[in-house]
Amino acid sequence: MPGTGHLACVGIGMMLGAHLAPRARSHIEQAEVVFAAVSDALVELWLQTLRPDLRSLQPYYAQGKSRHQTYREMVAAMLAEVRAGRSVCGVFYGHPGVFARVPHDAIAQARAEGFEACMEPGISAEGCLYADLGIDPGRFGCQHYEASQFLLYRRRFDPTATLVLWQIGIVGDRSCARFETGRAYRELLVERLLEDYPPQHEVIVYEAATLPIATPRVDRVALSRLPQTQLTLQSTLVIPPALDAQPDPAMRARLAELDRAHASGASSTEPTRGDEDVECPAVS
């Protein structure tokens, strides 16, 4: 029989108070025990106006301590309350399923032990990025990688699409215990990127706004200047397309053949979809 405990991991978005969705708020207000891992102390203080008994997960972090160990301890703290039969809510900034290992691990463990567990999405830094930079991922395509993974593996990416590298402030950290890496690590990243982009290609260092009175960070620099640029844990690197996409004549010919076959076989009474009903990709 499933246990009586319950776990919900919810996202409160990036901006203080402005991104909290009704379902996430309901979980926060109705849970018996609420844990939180949020972006800064101000957000945590705001959450305490909703739940004065909030239990912060921040003390599990420590300089020089492996984040893997920190994450295991956070999961253990939440699961202990679930096993005790309580309804538990874990609150995470942004989206609880995006660059957040603890919610995924906690939900998987809870379900494996027979408890009910769910995730409520939140507005992520990715969503803010699209809005603040005016990027439509459907226009040219958009690729996302964690910066250190991008360095450690030979990824097959496309310079005709937007490239987004997350956590560039700690690029190259293999210890999972550091909160920043230095210029030499960024130089390795730039060296890798220069295989596919020119040195003067404009890139964007982006950080979403977390306070209603703040503005997002949008610093445009030449790729070659990235090592000298000030970065934080919240910094994301956005690399616009450097090349035009190359048409595939053979595939276009095959699609045209299918179109002709469809047109000749379609009934004269069959309804057709006008341009107003479907948005076609912008191809030349």
The residues carrying an active-site annotation are 67, 71, 93
Query: What are the C-alpha distances in Å from 140 to residues 136, 137, 234?
Result: 8, 6, 25
The residue with tokens 């399923």 is 97
Q: Which two tokens stand for residue 7?
A: 């776990």
- Within 8 A by CB and 6+ apart from 133, the residues are 204, 206, 218, 238
- Helix 101-112 × helix 67-83 angle, to 10°: 40
Q: Which two tokens stand for residue 86?
A: 């309580």
Measured distance CA(51)–CA(61) in Å, rounded: 22
Count Cβ atoms below 10 Å from residue 152 Cβ, excluding itself.
Answer: 11
